[in-house]
Structure 1
Amino acid sequence: MGHRHRRGAVSEKGVNWKPAASEGQFPGLFCGSDKSARHFREGTMILLKNCYYIATFNDAGDELQGQDILIEDNTIKKIAPNIAPPEGTEVIDCSHHLVMPGMVNTHHHLYQILTRNLPGAQNAKLFDWLVYLYPVWAKIDEEGFYYSTFAGLMELLRTGATLTTDHLYLYPAGLKNSDLVGIQFEAAEKVGIRFAPTRGSMTRGKSQGGLPPDEVVQSPDEVLADMERAIARYHDPDPLAMRKVILAPCSPFSVEETVMVQTAELARRYGVLLHTHLAETRDEDEYCLQKYGMRPLALMEKWGWLGEDVFFAHGIWFNDEELRVLAETRTGVSHCPSSNMRLGSGIARVKEMLEMGIRVSLGVDGSASNDTSDMLGEVRQALLLQRVRYGPDALTARDALKLATRGGADMLGFPLLGKIEEGAGADIIAFDLDHPQFVGALSDPVAAIVFTGYSHQVDLSIVNG
């Protein structure tokens, strides 16, 4: 069946839930292919009744009042006033709610939840921050990866995300035989969120001139073999899959050239997406120029890392010509405003990117550089940060929300999500506007959730119907 959550309905005991022992420890990971359980029961119907305001984010940008949304199985069947509920339909009163598509988070490092707010990393720039935290992360075990994933996904779900990726590139030496992608999928199953994580990688340790310590990197052969295994076992190409796999070497300063090239070849052989960090800091520019004699994006072009199947995290330091290349190749950028501010990395040129037709989405980034997984909060930060750089009309509330809905669904390869229309996937969230935090703000119910309020929690979240 699908997953529906109301505020307060998910017990806090869930955070302390301990999986039963099984082969390898986590249940459900060792019984053949784990690609595609749809999680909805055929014939299930839900009626969102008398919606106060619906922001559809469809191609026309329609906004509706006083209409109903009928969900059948995992898709939206009908949108109209006064729909008579078929027998057996669950009816949910939305007469005080802003209803909109579930949001999509396109960059994260969920394991970092365990190292939030460490004093030694609170005031460091990216490279220093990494050097401080790598040895700490090297000690994370399977249980740590499970519970950090669980906790981060809960935060995302409660703040409006119904679909997320995760960039797990850290594989400690003691976990060589662990199925970390499978452990993450198990946590996502428990939470009830749609999940498209990456099989990340680092292969260049400190002894080879890289930034990470050797105990958290793997050999190229280990990485490529496990990437292929993860795709074969977990990736579901269905447009409304609950599970997809993305391939994501960490960065140009932690992965060898051969691995970058072969990862791109592997991804295209299987039809999966590619992701990595790029153009996040000036230090990265200097590293690439010193080691390769070219800027980061030129490296990506050389290695076959441009195209509609590629999206980069951050993209702060692209120059004018590089922005043109991104636009021409349809290469995407996951904008992470909170992390960029937290680490003092800079302000991405999102307003200009959008004007040039570059594909842009939003990511909360790792919970040790944000330090939260607040999806609606990231929408607000995106709006405010662009206004710092470009002025008060740089990004509207709807622009920012569109990055988090249509932008994210497009980036992760889910064309039926990020919008409310008949035939679209039933990933829907609702905010209760009958609340003191929205007093005086309802002249524009859509912008209200971005500009006002002290809690970013949704009142209702529906994932896959």
Structure 2
Amino acid sequence: MASVLFKNARIMTMNEEGKVIEGDVLIVDDRIAHVGAEIDEAADEIIDAEGKIMLPGFVQTHIHLCQTLFRGRADDLELLDWLKERIWPLEAAHDDDSVYYSAMLGIGELIRSGTTTILDMETVRHTASAFRAMEESGIRALSGKVMMDHGRDLPPGLLESTERSLQESVDLLEAWHGRANGRLQYAFCPRFVVSCTEELLIGVRDLSKRYQVKVHTHASENRGEIALVEEERGMRNVVYLDHIGLATPDLILAHCVWLSEEEKEIIRDRGVKVTHCPGSNLKLASGIAEIPDLLRKRIGVGIGSDGAPCNNTLDMFSEMRMTALIQKTKHGPTAMNARTVLRMATMGGAEVLGLEEEIGSIESGKKADLMLLDLDEFHAYPSYETDPYSRIVYSAGCGDVDTVMIDGRFVMRNKQLLTIDKNTVLKEADRSIKRLLKRIV
């Protein structure tokens, strides 16, 4: 077993007590073996982290890696037009290579900005290529093919039969769930109620229960979407999902901007989890989710960047800052403090994914998913007796991430990516989007 000893770091454990320790962390193989003020044990490698902050890796609870290639190609539109006019045609044009390089492009950006775990939703086809990118890059991920067997204005390349959608999802689950030392997991990903028949959603409910895996879908992101669901199913999103038995602790809902009080109660009572995407919700003019109210109700909430074409960045530092700031104008300056937000980005995200026993904090026995921040910069000073939570949420940025470890393996060190060939990915990303654009002209 390999071992690494980090010495002299400022360790923000993000444990239940929120302890901040000046000291050492010993990694043995893929796990944290010991955290303490001074560890005097032998290790294969000793790293002096003097002056650096150690954090658990960020956990992003809503990402679309397949959309990273579409960055900058769907600006200034609201959700349904954004999907119909830009995103769906581009997703339908994907091939195996384009999905692979779209995923690699996104993962490189995520690792560079300290994200070590994601909940990802792919497109209808070529999902194995995304899993291959996740396996090779070293990121921890729950992911699944998007499921779409119903809807208006869908390109032929995205509309699938119910039977095929369910079978391909199971095939991918059986091929990828638990791969890479358990680092990769499968989640069933029906896109949203608007694009799924009731037969499909009930099938997902039953398969999720059979295989004991998560279900991830969008809900109540946009008022036009809600109107369509009410028109077709006769009730609001979350009420409908509860009606068909999908509202369980294994359900993770992206966005939840426009929830009724009844829907909030269903989410709370059924143990459903929510993922907040402030950058995407602002850019698509969807609205501002009532996150303080959800937290008061003890609903589990994580943070995600969503996809690159509805945010344009996958940077958790940006999402944390927005998560805090956008609530203050309506609910007051203390509505979302830095400590609350940083917890959402780490341990809170782990809880949403059901991985709180494995990741989300720096504690003995947990997976070695962590980062080192170097805040020795103008924008992060003065450092003297500064609240470390404030310094990270309000002042730090993705360029401050120095080193990232996932599953006990360095994936970035001294700001150099170790598992992704940057030049190749950038070159192939441009070649891929050029190829896709020709297909939809």
User: How does the TM-score come out when normalised to structure 2?
Assistant: 0.89
CA separation of 1:194/1:452 partners in 2, compared to 1, >3 Å: closer, same or farther? same
Match for 1:185: what amino acid? F
Q: Which residue of 2 aligns with 1:162?
A: 116
> Can you list the C-alpha shifts for 1:168-196, whole angstroms capped at 9, x where unaligned?
1333xxxxxxxx23211221123221121
Matched, 1:132 2:85: yes
Q: Which residue of 1 aligns with 2:435?
A: none
2:262 corresponds, among 305, 321, 332, to 321
Separation of aligned partners in 2, 1:181 and 1:57? 33
- SS of match in other structure, 1:245: strand
Separation of aligned partners in 1, 2:285 and 2:70? 19
The answer on whether the counterparts of 1:193 and 1:463 sit within 8 Å (CA) in structure 2 is yes
1:446 corresponds, among 389, 395, 412, to 389
- SS of match in other structure, 1:228: helix
Matched, 1:146 2:100: yes
The answer on whether the counterparts of 1:169 and 1:202 sit within 8 Å (CA) in structure 2 is no
**Structure (1/2) with the larger helix percentage:** 2
Q: How does 1:40-51 map to 2 (within 5 A)?
A: 43-51=1-9
Q: How does 1:227-246 map to 2 (within 5 A)?
A: 227-236=169-178, 241-246=182-187
1:55 corresponds, among 5, 12, 36, to 12
> Can you list the C-alpha shifts for 1:319-367, whole angstroms capped at 9, x where unaligned?
1221111111110001000000000000111101011100100111011
Separation of aligned partners in 2, 1:324 and 1:139? 40
Separation of aligned partners in 2, 1:268 and 1:434? 48
Matched, 1:84 2:62: no
Separation of aligned partners in 2, 1:181 and 1:85? 43
Separation of aligned partners in 1, 2:378 and 2:250? 43
Matched, 1:116 2:116: no
- SS of match in other structure, 1:107: strand
- SS of match in other structure, 2:302: strand
CA separation of 1:237/1:189 partners in 2, compared to 1, >3 Å: closer, same or farther? closer
Q: How does 1:9-88 map to 2 (within 5 A)?
A: 43-51=1-9, 53-65=10-22, 67-86=23-42, 88=43
Match for 2:318: what amino acid? G
1:218 corresponds, among 129, 153, 160, to 160
User: How does the TM-score come out when normalised to structure 1?
Assistant: 0.84
Separation of aligned partners in 2, 1:334 and 1:237? 25
Q: How does 1:163-312 map to 2 (within 5 A)?
A: 163-171=117-125, 180-205=126-151, 210-236=152-178, 241-312=182-253
Separation of aligned partners in 1, 2:16 and 2:278? 26
Separation of aligned partners in 2, 1:268 and 1:141? 31
Separation of aligned partners in 2, 1:82 and 1:89? 17
The answer on whether the counterparts of 1:96 and 1:432 sit within 8 Å (CA) in structure 2 is yes
Match for 1:445: what amino acid? P
CA RMSD of aligned residues (A): 1.6
Match for 2:17: what amino acid? A
Separation of aligned partners in 1, 2:91 and 2:366? 40
Separation of aligned partners in 1, 2:140 and 2:121? 15
The answer on whether the counterparts of 2:135 and 2:184 sit within 8 Å (CA) in structure 1 is no
Separation of aligned partners in 2, 1:309 and 1:297? 14
Separation of aligned partners in 1, 2:259 and 2:179? 32
Corresponding pairs, count: 405
- Cα distance, 1:457 vs. partner? 4.3
Separation of aligned partners in 1, 2:149 and 2:400? 39
Q: Which residue of 2 aligns with 1:21?
A: none
The answer on whether the counterparts of 1:181 and 1:199 sit within 8 Å (CA) in structure 2 is yes
Separation of aligned partners in 2, 1:193 and 1:136? 25
- SS of match in other structure, 1:165: strand
Separation of aligned partners in 2, 1:383 and 1:170? 34
CA separation of 1:203/1:325 partners in 2, compared to 1, >3 Å: closer, same or farther? same
CA separation of 1:283/1:384 partners in 2, compared to 1, >3 Å: closer, same or farther? same
The answer on whether the counterparts of 1:199 and 1:245 sit within 8 Å (CA) in structure 2 is no
The answer on whether the counterparts of 2:64 and 2:120 sit within 8 Å (CA) in structure 1 is yes
Matched, 1:433 2:375: yes
- SS of match in other structure, 2:85: helix
Separation of aligned partners in 2, 1:157 and 1:63? 23
Gaps of 5+ in 2: 409-441
Match for 2:121: what amino acid? H
- SS of match in other structure, 2:310: coil
Separation of aligned partners in 2, 1:61 and 1:453? 19
- SS of match in other structure, 2:157: helix
- Cα distance, 1:430 vs. partner? 1.2
Gaps of 5+ in 1: 1-42, 172-179
Percent of residue pairs bearing the same amino acid type: 33
Tell me which stretches of 4 or more aligned residues in structure 1 moved more than 6 Å.
none
